[in-house]
Amino acid sequence: MDANYTSFFKAEEECDKLKAHMFVWFSSKGFKKAIVGVSGGADSTVCCKLACDVLGPSNVYAVSMPNGKQSDIADARKVIEICGCNEATLNIGEMFTAMNTQFTQAGFELNDAYRSNSPARLRMAMLFGLAPLVGAVVINTCNLSEDCAWGNFSTLFGDNAGCYACLQGFTKTEVRMIGDYLGLPHDLVWKTPNDGMCGKSDEDRISELSGIKNFTYEEFDKFIRGLPHSFSKCDVQRLIHGYKIGKFKNKIVNIDHYTPSLSNMLTYLAGNN
């Protein structure tokens, strides 16, 4: 990891502030329980651990939601074992198949955008369906890098929904640093992010969409925080353009979250409106 970033971001300090914000938010709203959809990736792993630390493991429900079969389902189970919270496996496979059937029978042709985004929306519907059954609120697991990346690299009303957003104020690098501080397994915290659908990593997909060669969250996060980075002037313009394309999603789904007092060059360069 870049030395400039490790000296810039104080994981322990920010993690403590985040936990305090979460505690006050849940207390002020009268909520005592939380639901986290866990995939075994960095974001959901950190969110689950934070929720358990703030609310207690007995008040947290970690839910894995494979779409039929999931090759890395063991990672999601590992998160649940580490956190020691309540668990549930809710398979969306039959729901997705039934949804596909309805559309094809109605004469619609299924495309890649549909196949990538629909499972995320079904998973969120499943989490909100569980919420009244256990008296809990749904935790959003998106991070700042996803929200700022090309076209907003999250699914509207899918993974970008929820009641409280643990990580919305933190870049992917910062999430990983918080995960390390929390003592979570390195293989989960530093797992390559992907949507499990298109067969490509998030970084490869963003590189493909933006035209920026070898895009990485590590460089993107340094750019967001105003640290030295490797992007060219042309790349920066592409990043700004991509942010503008997707920032409407953040306005539609405006979720309560803790915002650290750190710079965000994208919102500055692109304007806040």
The pLDDT tens digits of the residues spanning 103-114 come to: 999 999 999 999
Q: Which residues of 96-129 are buried (b: 16+ CB within 10 A; e: fewer)?
A: beebeeeeeeeeeeeeeeeebbbbbbbbbebbee
Instruction: Supply the pLDDT for residue 196.
Output: 60
Question: 154-175: per-residue pLDDT in tens?
Answer: 899 999 999 999 999 999 999 9
Instruction: Supply the pLDDT for residue 50.
Output: 98
Percent of the chain with pLDDT over 90: 76
From residue 70, alpha-carbon distances to 81, 89, 92, 176 in Å are 18, 12, 11, 23
Question: 113-157: per-residue pLDDT in tens?
Answer: 999 899 999 999 999 999 999 999 999 999 999 999 988 888 999
pTM over the 0.85 mark: yes
Strand partners, 138: 35
